[in-house]
């Protein structure tokens, strides 16, 4: 599962990527600093791990990770190959969800390809390019399938009528968020079908007055894109990462609520990907794992180790909420809150799982 960071050139995508992943990818005040993509992982900041640490006193705590991909900037005409056009679109096709960074900060030293702060226009440009790319995709698929449908192949006929529906939806302005894709058509191929959230990259001084400044934009994102707008000052976050740990903590305390904006961004992408977290306590290590919602116990075991999946016998499971409430595994056993589940059990968020397997 990967989240792609997208947007116009010079809006702060790579700076955000570096902050999220503690990376050192090149950042520049000119457009198209990023040409190839940057790939990295961010730690999912999970307060539950702190509590588990208190209870189990492990030697090692391993948090869950989220994969981020920083993609080259996009300009008007990308779907026709302008800028770094097609490469950009190919990378987007590979990711599972998107976060579009919007330039809401004015700064004369950083080239603005729009010549003004206009985040709504940025959204429209990206959506248009994604839509045009999808249209091209659907037209190609229709051409490919038409001959088969004409000679009466039933499956081809059904897929063709779905493709025509999709095309109509796109011509009406899309995006394809609410389309139910039939089995024969792979939703991932369509760019406007990908879940997306927006990040307003603000000047530091606007962090406090975010809603009064960008209320209109928030409304637009909610109503037109059925999405969410998150505030962040990427530059400030970058500065915070450069402080030593003690200073950082002090600074975060001074920032108050605003110090949690970055965590909110990470958690929002996590929800966008429809993930849940389970924990394992093995020996002296506590570890958090992320899996797609609805994953079965046997598949979750496979995430930990392929041997566990192949030799799966059963899983002993209790939930974090119960452990937090009662404070020890022993009490959970006494109260009958530790369950034995089979292969097909669907893991819930916060499950603490002990897999039993043979080798």
Ligand X SMILES: Nc1nc2c(ncn2[C@@H]2O[C@H](COP(=O)(O)OP(=O)(O)OP(=O)(O)O)[C@@H](O)[C@H]2O)c(=O)[nH]1
Contacting positions for ligand X (CB under 6 A):
9-15, 27-29, 31-34, 73, 105, 107, 110, 201, 233-235
15 binds, among Mg ion, ligand X, none (CB under 5 to 8 A by kind): ligand X
Q: Which is nearer to Mg ion, 33 or 228 (CB)?
A: 33
> Judged by CB, which is closer to ligand X: 165, or 238?
238
Only segment of 26-34, 108-116, 143-151, 171-179 that touches Mg ion (CB under 5 A): 26-34
The answer to whether the beta carbons of residues 69 and 37 sit under 8 Å apart is yes
Comparison of 16 and 138: residue with beta carbon closer to ligand X: 16
Site string for Mg ion, 88-107 (x = CB under 5 A): --------------------
Angle, CA 28 vertex, CA 120 and CA 238 arms, to 5° = 80
Three-state secondary structure call for residue 58: coil
Is the CB of residue 4 less than 8 Å from the CB of residue 20?
Answer: no
Pick 27 or 281: Cβ nearer Mg ion: 27
CB of 104 to ligand X, least distance (A): 8
Gap between the Cα atoms of 112 and 153, Å rounded = 52
By CB under 5 A, residue 10 contacts Mg ion: no
Q: Which residues contact 307 (CB under 8 A, 6 or more apart)?
A: 357, 359
**Nearest residue to ligand X, by Cβ distance, number only:** 73
Comparison of 198 and 220: residue with beta carbon closer to Mg ion: 198
**Cis link prior to 175 (omega < 30° from 0)?**
yes
Q: What angle do CA 269, 273, 278 make, to 5 degrees?
A: 100
Least separation in angstroms between residue 254's CB and ligand X is 19
Q: In the bound complex, what is the minimum distance in angstroms from residue 157's beta carbon to ligand X?
A: 44
Cβ atoms 71, 34 nearer than 8 A = yes
Is residue 315 within 8 Å of residue 355, measured between CB atoms? yes
Query: Which helix or strand (DSSP H or E) is residue 54 part of?
Result: helix 47-56
Q: Which of 5, 8, 11, 14 binds Mg ion (CB under 5 A)?
A: 14
Phi, psi at 318, each rounded to 5°? -140, 165
Does 277 sit near Mg ion (CB under 5 A)? no
Pairing label, strands 2-6, 97-104: parallel
| Closer residue to ligand X, CB minimum distance, 69 or 288 | 69
> CA-CA distance, 7 to 72, in Å (whole number)?
8
- Residue 1, contacted partner among Mg ion, ligand X, none, CB below 5-8 A by kind: none
Residue 210 binds: one of Mg ion, ligand X, none (C-beta under 5 to 8 A by kind): none
Answer with the entry of Mg ion, ligand X, none that 97 interacts with (C-beta below 5 to 8 A by kind): none
Task: List interacting residues with Mg ion (CB under 5 A).
Answer: 13-14, 33-34
């Amino acid at each position: 599962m990967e989240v792609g960071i997208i947007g116009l050139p010079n809006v702060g995508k790579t700076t955000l990527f570096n902050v999220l992943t503690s990376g050192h990818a090149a950042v520049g005040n000119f457009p198209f600093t990023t040409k190839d993509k940057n790939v990295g992982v961010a730690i999912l900041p999970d307060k539950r791990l702190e509590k588990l640490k208190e209870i189990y006193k492990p030697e090692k705590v391993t948090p869950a990770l989220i994969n981020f991909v920083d993609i080259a900037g996009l300009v008007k005409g990308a779907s026709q190959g302008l800028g770094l056009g097609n490469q950009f679109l190919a990378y987007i096709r590979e990711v599972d969800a998107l976060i579009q960074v919007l330039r809401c900060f004015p700064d004369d030293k950083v080239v603005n390809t729009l010549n003004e702060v206009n985040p709504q226009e940025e959204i429209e440009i990206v959506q248009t390019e994604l839509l045009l790319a999808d249209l091209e995709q659907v037209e190609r698929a229709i051409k490919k399938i038409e001959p088969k449908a004409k000679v009466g192949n039933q499956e081809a006929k059904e897929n063709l009528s779905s493709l025509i529906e999709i095309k109509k939806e796109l011509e009406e302005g899309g995006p394809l968020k609410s389309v139910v894709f039939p089995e024969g058509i792979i939703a991932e191929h369509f760019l406007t079908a990908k879940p997306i959230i927006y990040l307003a990259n603000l000047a530091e001084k606007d962090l406090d007055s975010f809603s009064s400044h960008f209320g209109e934009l928030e409304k637009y994102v909610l109503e037109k894109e059925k999405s969410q707008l998150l505030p962040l000052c990427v530059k400030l976050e970058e500065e915070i990462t450069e402080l030593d740990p003690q200073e950082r903590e002090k600074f975060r305390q001074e920032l108050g609520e605003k110090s949690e904006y970055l965590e909110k961004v990470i958690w929002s992408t996590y929800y966008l990907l429809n993930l849940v977290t389970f924990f394992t306590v093995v020996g002296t290590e506590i570890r958090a794992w992320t899996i797609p919602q609805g994953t079965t116990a046997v598949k979750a075991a496979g995430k930990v180790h392929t041997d566990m999946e192949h030799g799966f016998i059963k899983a002993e499971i209790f939930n974090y909420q119960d452990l937090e409430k009662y404070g020890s595994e022993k009490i959970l056993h006494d109260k009958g809150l530790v369950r034995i589940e089979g292969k097909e059990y669907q893991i819930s968020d916060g499950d603490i799982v002990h897999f039993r397997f043979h080798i």
